[in-house]
Copies of this chain bind each other. A is one copy, B any other.
């Protein structure tokens, strides 16, 4: 009779899920008795849960019942600091791609991940989405060798990119000459299928673009952090870069 308000319905639903998750045998009569609702309402609630993706299965007839198939959802996922960072980077990339399924669910996850950071760092973290670009140009696929051998290099780049720290790299240029530089990794750019880093190059004291797969070695520059230079992308250096090739 009494109309349920939002809060109590959230509670009711959570209790229902709790009962279903405990791997007991439940009939709708049992459930409705525990939840103090009519059978009709219970069926509606179950339908609504199914509709939202919960794998609720039921058996009709004598000995039948309702149950939740398998272990669904994740109760508690422990994520290390690095894992959180990389996950956020991954989400930022998906977002940069105009991904049409960047739904509220993923937004919520992003928000949950933000909580891993202290207040003063969050602005930096939430800015990464704007530091990723997809170029209209694409590169011939043949030349690109995504390096799975260089996990440690990848991690170093990833970290210095996110934490805005300078990085020492050994780089092999297009004409195969090797050089050692200190760079500030400002922006990340995809010109499919090649990934680039738009950086400030301390060696030349100018903006430069580095193919990630041409970076052969990395060394962190301990505590030297840098501030973003929006002019690096305001100048559209990469478009110029590509059209000049």
Does A134 belong to the interface (CB within 8 Å)?
A: yes
Is A195 touching B99 in the complex (CB atoms < 8 A)? yes
**A104 and B48 alpha carbons, distance in the complex (Å):** 21
Cβ A90 vs Cβ B91 within 8 A: yes
- Binding site of A, secondary structure by majority: helix, strand, loop or mixed? helix
Copies of this chain, complex-wide, total 2
Verify B21–A72 contact, CB threshold 8 A.
Answer: no
Q: Taking A18-B111, A83-B108 as given, write out 4 further A-B residue pairs in contact, using a Cβ cutoff of 8 Å, ordered by the A residue number.
A: A21-B115, A75-B76, A97-B190, A98-B194
Q: List 10 A-B contacts (CB under 8 A).
A: A7-B52, A18-B111, A55-B81, A70-B119, A71-B116, A71-B118, A82-B105, A83-B105, A90-B99, A100-B213
**Could you tell me which A residues sit within 8 Å of B by CB distance?**
6-7, 9-11, 14-15, 17-18, 21-23, 48, 51-55, 69-87, 89-91, 93-94, 97-119, 121-123, 126, 134, 136, 138, 141, 144, 146-147, 151, 154-155, 157-159, 190, 192-195, 212-213
